[in-house]
Structure 1
Amino acid sequence: MNYETTINADGPLSPEFSGGEGEQGNSRRLWIIGALIAAVLVAAWFFMHRGSDAAADSKGAQAQVVTVVVPGATTITGTITASGTIAARREMPVGVAGEGGQIVSVLVDAGDWVKAGQVLAVIDRSVQSQQIASQAANVEVAAADARLAQANLDRALKLVERGFISKADVDRLTATRDAAVARVRVARGSLGELGARAARLNIVAPASGLVLTRAAEPGQIVSSGSGVLFSMARDGQMEMQARLAEADLARLAVGASAKVVPTGSERTFDGQIWQLSPTIDQTSREGIVRIALPYDLALRPGGFATATLASGTVTAPVLPESAILSDDKGTFVYVVGSDNKAERRPVKTGEVSAQGITVIEGLSGRERVVLRAGGFLNPGDKVQPVVQK
């Protein structure tokens, strides 16, 4: 079908053509606009959900992988290390007990074992010997006078029965006899005193033990003011004397075992605490623990030694040093909760041993404790825990 259209350059299209073509164009444009709006909404929804998933994935990717351990409870034998000196457990100083004089001979040397009462050194007693001899003679004279007085009294008693001697004469002779007997006792007492003084010139051991030092030589002039000539260890018993802080001293008990190693030696001696200092030095805040040791040549009084003391047992979680952190707020560890978030847990530490550090407060032992990398965590951080086997 052919249509003929007349176009007027100065006017609009004819009514038939312009009206039909305008409605169709408007409808098409509305449809296109609606399609574009729907496409934009779908794209926005898609990108919103995709962005949420990506954020979740990104957050999951940022969770730090940490190694955790469940420490449980371990029984640890507490130990305290101390240093000190070896000494005689009961040291006995021996000096001159008598008047003194010149030493004639020394019968023992340092390192010798002696018995109670054994003579260690002899002091010249020539003067004392003469005094003893003179007094012994006086005793004999007094005894002779006493015998004579007794004889005179006996004769007088026989004569008094016959009436030749009065009662007063008998009383006088009895008194003379008693005085003579008393003089005998006085003379014998003086003789005994001189003998005792002479005996004290011998320097003797007060008890059995080991001679530690000797400061006496033949020809030496000594007196009661000469000081210690011999020092002895009673029964050869030794000890180690160690100074400890009062906090450590409070953890020990009499009877606790100890391992003692003298300086320069590889031998270990078994000892036992026999005394804890009843007082604390106010300046150093330390006390002395005394460890009894058996005699041995390697234990030389005055030498240094190191002791490891048993301070009881404790049952608590034990962690390696890497798990325990500290800052200005104190000591703490990181614990991973059931939501896999790091939690700061304050703790109190105790013994340090080859097994690790004992945690005496803050943990039960059933928690998951961050073993390493705790310094890179903050409370509340999400983590991926890996239990150490």
Structure 2
Amino acid sequence: MPDPAPRHSDRPRWRRSGALALAALVCVGALLGWRLGPARPPVVAVEIMAAGPVTRVLAVNGKIALRERLAIRAAVGEVVLSVAVAAGDVVTAGAVLARLDDRQQAAALRQAEAALAQAVILQAQAAAEFGRDRDLGAQVSRMRLDDARRSLAGAAQEVAGRAALRDQARIALDHYALRAPVAGTVLTRAVDPGQRVDTATTLFTLADLARLRVETDVDETYALQIAPGQRVRLLLLGSAETRMGTVEVVAPRVDPDTGGLAVKIGFDALVRAPVGLTVTANVVIDSRSALTVPRTALTGGAVFVLRAGRAVATPVRVIDWPADRLIVTAGLAPGDRVISDSTGLHDGQILREEGE
């Protein structure tokens, strides 16, 4: 039988197809490389260093507080007859807040007044008798005249004593009326008619709501930075108006439990606000001309300065402070181009400045 027709191998065809595909890939790669060029460096934002006015501020939250709160107590123990005010009432100095049962003391005053009136009558009689004896001259013995003089002196002393007792009784009677020692607002009332009160219980609290201040605590980390006389910008919750004040009192000790230093701030101008309202206080620690960098630029005690397209790690000294920007005290000079955000950067990295 004749031999079958010879079979041609497929291998050369496969090799030719692979070669063509590889050539196509090379061409595409070359085309893309020509189109895209080398990988471009990351873009970063920079700040050009220049000295400028800087105010270092410590921000704390505080509360509106009273400068003074007066506790009103009874001077005597007795039953309350009437109460003239309620919490929130505004009173003038000397206004009666409540009256106690003063019937016994009023009777004592009447007795003292009657005794004084009787003593005055006796003094007048003694004075008249002494005057008559003196006018009679030689017709009256010296002994009688001396007796009349002594009687008059004794009557005068009696009047003085009775007058003092009357005054004491009058003062004691006034203790049965509880009065406001100063003008202000009644903050609390803890008494009702019919109650028996003692001298130890606070019946009313009174304060001048026009004399307010801010009380706050500063973390002990900044305790050495706070001093009386520092200016403060104050913003009351719910108000867009910034008010000015001054640090008036700095506590002499740090609270060992909270680590806070108590600070009291006075307002420059009259402020009317509810006690307990939250206030943001920005205490001006100092003002100067200095270089500053964003906190985000700092990493491990250094910043990155962009020089000739590369990030150069530059050690700096700053005043660490709870703020978005930090004052630079060493390591940078005006004109340095500091990268604003150091995240993900490394020394010597090739970079491109934003806007180039």
> Offset of 1:369 from its aligned partner?
2.2
For 1:304 and 1:372, the matched residues in 2 are separated by 34
- Matched position secondary structure for 1:135: helix
The TM-score with structure 2 as length reference comes to 0.77
Residue deviations 1:194-220, cap 9 Å, x none?
001111221111112222222222222
For 1:148 and 1:117, the matched residues in 2 are separated by 41
In structure 1, the partner of 2:216 is 242
Indicate conservation of the 8 Å contact 1:316/1:365, yes or no: no
Indicate conservation of the 8 Å contact 1:334/1:374, yes or no: no
Residue deviations 1:264-291, cap 9 Å, x none?
x456562412413141226245322222
For 1:104 and 1:376, the matched residues in 2 are separated by 81
> Offset of 1:100 from its aligned partner?
3.3
In structure 1, the partner of 2:71 is 93
Matches within 5 A, 1:310-389: 310-326=284-300, 331-337=301-307, 342-351=312-321, 353=323, 356-372=325-341, 375-378=344-347, 381=348, 383=350, 386=353
**Percentage of matched positions with identical amino acids:** 21
**Structure 2: runs of 5+ lacking an equivalent:** 1-37
> Offset of 1:171 from its aligned partner?
0.9
**Structure 1: runs of 5+ lacking an equivalent:** 1-60
Q: Which amino acid aligns with 2:312?
A: A
Q: Which amino acid aligns with 1:204?
A: R
Q: Which amino acid aligns with 2:96?
A: V
Which of the residues 94, 101, 105 maps onto 1:124?
A: 101
In structure 1, the partner of 2:82 is 105
Matches within 5 A, 1:268-347: 270-281=243-254, 283=256, 284-293=258-267, 294-296=270-272, 299-326=273-300, 331-337=301-307, 342-347=312-317
> Offset of 1:345 from its aligned partner?
1.5
The TM-score with structure 1 as length reference comes to 0.71
Q: How many residues align?
A: 314
Q: Which has the larger radius of gyration?
A: 1
Indicate conservation of the 8 Å contact 1:208/1:235, yes or no: no
Matches within 5 A, 1:191-202: 191-202=166-177
- Matched position secondary structure for 2:217: strand
- Matched position secondary structure for 2:192: coil
Q: Which amino acid aligns with 1:334?
A: F
Q: Which amino acid aligns with 2:120?
A: A
- Matched position secondary structure for 2:114: helix
- Matched position secondary structure for 1:229: strand
Give RMSD over aligned pairs: 3.0
Alignment CA distance shift 1:252-1:155 (3 Å)? closer
Q: Which amino acid aligns with 1:208?
A: A
Q: Which amino acid aligns with 1:348?
A: V
Indicate conservation of the 8 Å contact 1:259/1:271, yes or no: yes
For 2:318 and 2:65, the matched residues in 1 are separated by 38
Matches within 5 A, 1:38-57: none
For 1:371 and 1:147, the matched residues in 2 are separated by 100
Alignment CA distance shift 1:142-1:193 (3 Å)? same
- Matched position secondary structure for 2:61: strand
In structure 2, the partner of 1:84 is 62
Alignment CA distance shift 1:322-1:304 (3 Å)? closer
Which of the residues 202, 206, 213 maps onto 1:232?
A: 206
